[in-house]
Every structure is written in structure tokens, then in C-alpha cells.
Chain A
Amino acid sequence: MIKRFFIALSLIILAGTFAKVVYNFVPNTELTNVAKHYVQHGTQELGATNLVTAVVVTYRGLDTLGEVVVLFISAAGVGLLLRRRKNDLVTKEEKRTEPSFLVQSVAEILVPLIFMLGAYIFLNGHLTPGGGFQGGAVIASGTMLLFLAAPYKHLNHGVLTALESISGFAYVLIGILGVTLLGAGHFIDNRFLPLGELGTLLSAGAIPIIYIIIGLKVGTELSVVLEDMREE
């Protein structure tokens, strides 16, 4: 109880600090200088109508590469922890209940649709809200549905790993392409491909390609994570 009291006390003090921040908070009425540049020149410079995508993929491309790495190593960490190793001894195999017919048939229809939705989201990342990460997550949801429908089915780890591996490597390659084609300082620059006509699917230089790669990588990675957690 004393412990809780102290925790409450310190949280109250923390709340005081927060209150000070809130009290002094004046909501922005104007864009910051950097944002101004993005908003003013972003579409011309990069050819993407969705400025968030422009920021995510190119302006702050290194962040995104890092983000992909984070997801990659989380998946690796999950795998490292959960996948069975040679000498593990398991006492009891879990029983999985067969899902109902309804679930199975709904899944059969839905899963391809979900996958297509995911693909759509990352293909149009430079035009509409969404992008590689969202699309990838949607694809992973599809995988999840698949698991619900077919508890005894295993994903083909080999294919997934290869896909993930290749897409990751491709991302790095595209980054290098920026350097080799546009010169030093252009790592992860999407402009080594023509920007195309603003607002069309095949525009914004390499952004669609990058988002496809990211979408694939995120989708496969998250699917592997789900698989690992399910199979454990």
C-alpha cells in the first residue's frame, strides 16, 4: 500500500510537470520551416501527392530504412526466442480445435481480398493515405485469418524467408542506386527513376517500388511473427 502511495505521489508530481507543459502549450498555427519546404516543393521535388509518403520514403528515408530494420530484428528476436531449437524437450503437444465450416468458407473468400487490399494500399502509397507499412500489416491480417481457418497448416518458411530476404536486400540496393546514379549524398533518393506525371500510379520515381518492397517485407515479416507465435 505504501508502495502504491509513493507511486501515486510521483505520478501526481509527473502530472504537475505535464500540466505545466499543457498550460504553456500554444497549438501551432503555421507550419514549421522544414514542413513549409515539404509542402511547397514536395510534390515537385519527389512527384508524390501524399506528402507523408514523400517524407517517409525519401526525405526521412533513413528513418524508414531503420524502421524496416526494427521490424526485421523484432521478427528475428521473436524467432530466436520462440522457434524450437535442437535440444528443446517439449512435454505436451497442444490440441487445436478445428474451426467451423463458416469460418473456413468466409476465410476462403476473404483472404485473397485482403491480400489484394494490402497490395492496393502499398501500391498507392504515394497518392493516397497508406503505404508499405499499412499494406504489409493488412497482408499480415490476411495471414492471420488464414491461420484461423486452417490451424494445422504451416506457412512455407523457406519461401517467406526468401521473399523477406530479397525484398530487404532490394531496398538497400535501391538506396545504393540513388548513390550510384545521382551521386554521393543521394542515398535512398527516389529520383533516379523519372518522376512521371503527378497523381498517376506510375509516378514519384522509385517510391512505388520502395513501397512495394516495404509492403512485401513487412507483410512477410509480420506473417512470420504470427506464425512463430502460433507455432511456438
Chain B
Amino acid sequence: MGLYLNQYPLASIVLITGFMMILIGLWGMLTKTNIIKIIISITVVETGVNVILVSIGYIQGRTAPILDTAVLQIDALSRVVDPIPSALVLTSIVIGLGTTALMLSYVIKMYRVRQSLNIEDFGVLKW
């Protein structure tokens, strides 16, 4: 599993976890018929992507990019991890919440109309 797994275990392990979460989530998205389950699967996929992003920004053995001590400020370049992925993930999590909320609102209204959570009951438009 990768040439560098032993030397740089942390980031790679997390990366693999992220990819596995994506696969698990996709399986759920594609096979579950309950729309709430599908949405849960989507959040799993999103979390997976976020995990991957964080793992990409991680540098073994470094601390968070908060330069609140003098030591850190002096030798910041070799002591902190990349702040950019953190910023991106932060945004992505918030966006995820937004879409999830909207999706769930759709689910509620769809349930009101059809009394069902089965995705097959919502194929009114086709062909």
C-alpha cells in the first residue's frame, strides 16, 4: 500500500480513510432507496472529501498554524502545517451544512406530497 506509508504514515492513512469514506458514501447514494439515507450518504462523501483535504495539508510532526508563541513565530516555516486546506475545509463544511439543510427541506415537502421516502416514488418525470 504505497511506498511511503511507513515513512509518512499519518497523512497517507487519513487519505485512505477519506477515500474509503467516499466509496462507502457512494455505495449508499447509489443503493439505498430511502432518501434520508441517501442524504446521509452524501454527507459521508462530503466528510470524506474534507478528510482528504486536511490530510493533504498535513505535514508530519508540525503544529497548527497559530503563531501565538515566540518560538513559533521565529521558526514558523518549519513548524506549522499548511493553513490553506484548513481554510478550504472550513468553508466546505459550512457549505455542506447549507446543502444538507436544503435537501432535508425538500425531503420534508416531498414527504408531505407523497407520504413516502422511497426515491422510486419520485420518478414522475422521465423520458
Interface residues of A (CB under 8 A from B): 4, 7-8, 11, 14-15, 18, 21-23, 25-32, 34-36, 38-40, 42-43, 49-52, 54-56, 60, 63-64, 66-67, 70-71, 73-75, 77-78, 81-82, 127-129, 133, 199, 218, 222, 225, 228-229, 232
Contact = CB atoms under 8 A, between A and B. Distances in A.
B36 interface: no
A122 B90 CA distance: 14
B99 interface: yes
Interface in B39-81: 55-60, 64-68, 73, 76-77, 80
Interface of B: 1-4, 8, 10-12, 15-16, 19, 22-23, 26-27, 30-31, 55-60, 64-68, 73, 76-77, 80, 82-84, 86-88, 90-91, 94-95, 97-99, 101-102, 104-106, 108-109
Which applies to chain A's interface (DSSP): helix, strand, loop or mixed? helix
Contacts, number: 160
Contacts of A52: 64-66, 83, 86-87, 90
A40 B68 contact: no
A28 B15 contact: no
12 contacts: A11-B23, A28-B58, A31-B80, A34-B84, A52-B64, A56-B91, A63-B88, A67-B95, A70-B98, A71-B95, A78-B101, A229-B101
Contacts of A43: 67, 73
